[in-house]
Structure 1
Amino acid sequence: MTVRFRHADPVWAAFPELSAGVLYAAGVDAPADTRRRAAGYTDRAVARLARASEGEFPEVLAWRRTFSRMGVKPTQYRSASESLLRRLRKEGALPRIHPLVDLCNAVSVAYAVPVAVLDVDRITGPLLEVRPARGDETYTAFGGGVERPAPGEVTFVDSAGRAHARRWTHRQSGHSAVGAHTGRVLVVAEAMHDGGAETVAEVLKTVEEEVAAHWAATTATAVLTPAAPEFVFGH
């Protein structure tokens, strides 16, 4: 089955500054060691953090403004990139989760924009949409509990009404988190800052090159805009 990924029209209308890019990759289930390459990206973030805290980064400030406009307290719920940068600054390292997730997290801190990685086989098609929640969606937390997104919060929702990320923070649900069983992924990078389109394009290029180098996977990418809002994947 093919799946369409898109941002709903109200999202584009409310946040015209959004820059979004997606990558689909099949064949990422082979063992791979991404530690050396991930460390290179992490080092770039460490060097930047030595000059200023993540709260001063234009990329982070733009997401904080976005959260405030959604009615979400930006210091209570942080974008995934801000959370990772904060952890890196405080602890000097990022958590190790999965070779691909670790790599994407490192790329995320290097560019200071959130990068989500979803297990495609845990998404129910034919549509995965970034849209305001209605309040009847279900979200599986990493601890296994089930939550209901608040009406209006921006979330990734599939055709079964399952939310794969809440509050636009790009933190994946426990249901679609990448693990040892994962063979196909959807990577989503989004930015809100001035120059975000160039950043997202560079993130996509970087992730595609790394995936090809480590897994020889089949990939497809797209930069999404209001005029071209959909990406079809999973052939």
Structure 2
Amino acid sequence: MTLTLTVSDEVHALVPGFTHLAIEARDLVNGPSDATSSALLDDAVRRLADRLGGRTPDQDPHVAAWRAAYSAFGAKPSRTRNSAEALARRALTEAGLPRINRLVDAYNAVSVAHLIPVGGEDLGRIQGGMRLVRATGEEPFVTVAGGEETVERPEPGEVVWCDEAGVTCRRWNWRQGPRTRIDEDTTDALFLLESLAPMTRDELLAAGAELADSLRKVSPGARITVRDPA
């Protein structure tokens, strides 16, 4: 069954240029990072450096647009960075990008290479459809703090992804909850690529096509469907 994805009118009103691309991947075989997924990450770091040409990630026009979107709903973009900027900043450090598992490596590589937020959710752990909304402040966000499971609440007006059980990602694409996270047992997954102007539709589709190709590399035999909302 295809997962339902909706973006609320309130979010579109807040940031009119927002669009997304969804990729459903089934029959995946995940596992620890390997030479193939590491090579994707290494190539992404090289491409990022070429793209920035000595600038910092926040000076990229797409990252700057995300900073403005965060400010629009009251977040401080220098403290809670969107996922693409956070990964890019880490990629440029001596430590470099982390190796998580093959599927996460694949979508992190696309995020860094294209400077676009990309998220991954385990389809088997999502309850009902997924919605991008402005929070009331009452929605539960189950996370882990100090090694213990805890429940947080988003700020009223905060942009969040949620399903029927609660928030799956806070501050749009800042921090994902562990409940729906992709791990080595994941076999079916949803990947979300999120863009703002000035990124064009063609650029968004190119990033999606690259992710689909990367998923086939790290998990041969996967059934992949690209869902373009346009």
Match of 2:59 among 56, 61, 64: 56
CA distance in 1, matches of 2:199, 2:57: 17
Specify whether residues 206 and 182 from structure 1 end up closer, same or farther in structure 2 by C-alpha distance, changes over 3 A only. same
Matched, 1:153 2:155: no
Match of 2:227 among 222, 229, 232: 222
Is the partner of 1:193 in helix, strand or coil? Answer: coil
Match of 2:209 among 191, 200, 205: 205
Deviation at 1:223, TM superposition (A): 2.1
Report if aligned partners of 1:114, 1:170 keep a CA contact under 8 Å in 2.
Answer: no
CA distance in 1, matches of 2:85, 2:9: 26
TM-score of the aligned structures, taking structure 1 as reference length: 0.88
Deviation at 1:114, TM superposition (A): 0.5
Match of 2:141 among 112, 134, 139: 139
CA distance in 2, matches of 1:60, 1:177: 24
Deviations 1:150-174 (A, max 9, x none): 12111111022x1110011243211
Report if aligned partners of 1:19, 1:196 keep a CA contact under 8 Å in 2.
Answer: no
Specify whether residues 191 and 219 from structure 1 end up closer, same or farther in structure 2 by C-alpha distance, changes over 3 A only. same
Deviation at 1:13, TM superposition (A): 2.5
| 2:38 counterpart residue number | 35
TM-score of the aligned structures, taking structure 2 as reference length: 0.90
Deviations 1:159-190 (A, max 9, x none): 22x11100112432111111111111110011
Amino acid at match of 1:8: S
Deviations 1:129-158 (A, max 9, x none): 011112221112244322111121111110
| 2:175 counterpart residue number | 171
List 4+ stretches of structure 1 deviating above 6 A. Answer: none
Deviation at 1:90, TM superposition (A): 2.3
Provide the aligned length of Structure 1 versus Structure 2: 223
Deviations 1:92-138 (A, max 9, x none): 5101111111121111011011000111111101x210111122211
Match of 2:96 among 93, 96, 109: 93
Amino acid at match of 1:181: D
Deviations 1:71-104 (A, max 9, x none): 1111111100000111112235101111111121
Amino acid at match of 1:137: E
Report if aligned partners of 1:63, 1:192 keep a CA contact under 8 Å in 2.
Answer: yes
Matched, 1:21 2:21: yes
Report if aligned partners of 1:118, 1:172 keep a CA contact under 8 Å in 2.
Answer: no
Gaps of 5+ in 1: 226-235
Specify whether residues 74 and 30 from structure 1 end up closer, same or farther in structure 2 by C-alpha distance, changes over 3 A only. closer
Report if aligned partners of 2:23, 2:192 keep a CA contact under 8 Å in 1.
Answer: yes
* Identical amino acids, percent of aligned pairs: 30
Amino acid at match of 1:136: E
